[in-house]
Amino acid sequence: MLGVVLRGVLGATQLCAPRYRSRRAQATLSAAMPGTAGSKKVAVVTGANKGIGWDVARILAEQGHTTVVAARNEELGREATAKLQKATGSQGVLFHQLDITDPVSVEAFAKWAAQELGEVNILVNNAGLAFKGNVFGAAEAQQTLDINLFGTRRATEALLPLVPNGGSVVNVCSMAGKLSIIKDKALRSRFENAKHADDVTALANEFVDAIKADKLAGSGWPSSMYGVSKLCEATYTRLLAEELSTLNIAVNACCPGYCATDMSSWKGYKTSAQGADTPAWLALEAPATGKFWSERKEQPF
C-alpha cells in the first residue's frame, strides 16, 4: 500500500468556473484588515479535522468567530468538531462535509454556506496531500495536484462570492514549494510571468505529462511532487491576490513550518499549535495581500 497522508481529500481535477461577486472596495486593505480581529467573523477551515487545520480552527473559535470545520471524512470531522467545542467552550464551531476534489461536494458546501452562514469572512485552505517516502509517479503527482492546487482553487472560487470586503483567504503552502526549487531559467520565468490561474494549470499538467513520458530528467522540473504542487499553489495565490486587488480581500500564502503532524510522520520540530499561528494571524490581521509568509514574516515566493 502506498504511503500517503492527506490534510483533507482525494479525487478529480475538473475546476469550477470563477464566480466572483462584484463589490466596490470601501477602504484600503491596510485600513480595513486591522479591525478584522476585533469583530466577529465567519471562518471556514478546510482539512480541519486534525493537525494544523484543527489548531487554526481552535484559535479562531477561541476568539469568538463562528468556525466551520470542513473535512472529507464526516465521522472524523464531527469528532474533531465536538473536540473543538469542548476545548474552546464555543458552540459556534460547526461541521460540514467537504471534499475539495469533488465538484458536487464543493457546490453543496457553497450552497449550504450561502444559506446557513450568509457570508464567509475567512477562508483557510489547509487541506493538503503529501506522499511519504520515495513514492513517485504520474498518478501520484496527479493526486497531489488534484488536492493541493486544483482542489484549493475549486473551493476558493466556489466560496469567493460569499467573501465580503475586508475578507481574507489564506492558502497553507510550504517552503518546499518556493520558486527556488526550479533551476531551469526558462521554466522559472514561466512561473514568474504567469498571468492567470489557467497558466498555472498548464504548468501543473506539463509536470505530470513529463513524468508520464519519462522525460522529467532534463526537462527542468524538480523531482518533488509536493514541492511542485505547493509552488503551483503559491503562484495561484499571488495571481488571485492581483485579480482581487480592487475588492479589498486579502489573499496570502504561508508556510506553517516543519510540524510534528501525521503529514510529517510526527518528525517536525514544531507543534501543530505553533504551525497554526501564522495562518491564523493572516486570517485575522493580514497586513498585506499577495505575499508569502513564514513565522509572521514576509518571504520571497
- DSSP states of the chain: ---EEESS-------PPP-PPP----S-HHHHGGGGGGS--EEEEETTTSHHHHHHHHHHHHTT-EEEEEES-HHHHHHHHHHHHHHH--TTEEEEE--TT-HHHHHHHHHHIIIIIS--SEEEE---EEE-TT---HHHHHHHHIIIIIIHHHHHHHHGGG--TT-EEEEE--GGG-GGG---HHHHHHHHT--SHHHHHHHHHHHHHHHHTT--TTTT--S-HHHHHHHHHHHHHHHHHHHTGGGT-EEEEEE--SB-SGGGTT--SB-HHHHHHHHHHHHHH-SSSS-EEETTEEE--
Instruction: Mark whether 226 is an active-site residue.
Output: yes
Which of 20, 226, 236, 258 does the annotation list as catalytic? 226
> What is the DSSP code string of 77-133?
HHHHHHHHHHHH--TTEEEEE--TT-HHHHHHHHHHIIIIIS--SEEEE---EEE-T
Say how far apart CA 278 and CA 274 lie, in whole Å: 8
Beta-bridge partners for 170: 124, 252
CA of residue 233 relative to chain centroid, distance? 8
- Among residues 47, 115, 21, the alpha carbon closest in space to that of 107 is found at 115
Residue positions annotated with a catalytic role: 226
